[in-house]
Amino acid sequence: MTIEILGDGCPKCRGLEKNTRQAVADAGVEAEILVVNDPSRIAHFQLLTLPGLVIDGELKSRGRLLSAEEIRRYF
């Protein structure tokens, strides 16, 4: 599984990364977690608000700081 955190390093973006890492650990799944701040990749998903959560190429969330429990629902 590949998980991308799309963001610019803001507090919500860092929080989403932290919660994503916790969700992966809690679920016991193998995942590559990438923090992406490339404007062209962010634009690809037409994000107007950050952060974005992408799992295996599919945008799951935009503009929200999800809890670890909410993120685990996407696995």
pLDDT at 34: 98
- The residue from 1, 10, 25, 29 that is catalytic is 10
Marked catalytic residue, from 13, 24, 50, 66: 13
- Domain positions in the chain are 2-72
User: CATH says 2-72 is which class?
Assistant: alpha beta
- Residue range 23-74, pLDDT digits in tens: 999 999 999 999 999 999 999 999 999 999 999 999 999 999 999 999 999 9
Q: What is the mean pLDDT of residues 8-35?
A: 97
User: From CA 58, how far away is CA 24, in angstroms rounded?
Assistant: 17
| CB-based contacts of 10, cutoff 8 Å, min separation 6 | 50, 51
Residues forming a β-bridge with 2: 32
Pick 3 or 48 by higher pLDDT: 3
Question: Is residue 10 annotated as a catalytic residue, yes or no?
Answer: yes
| CA 39/CA 36 separation, integer angstroms | 9
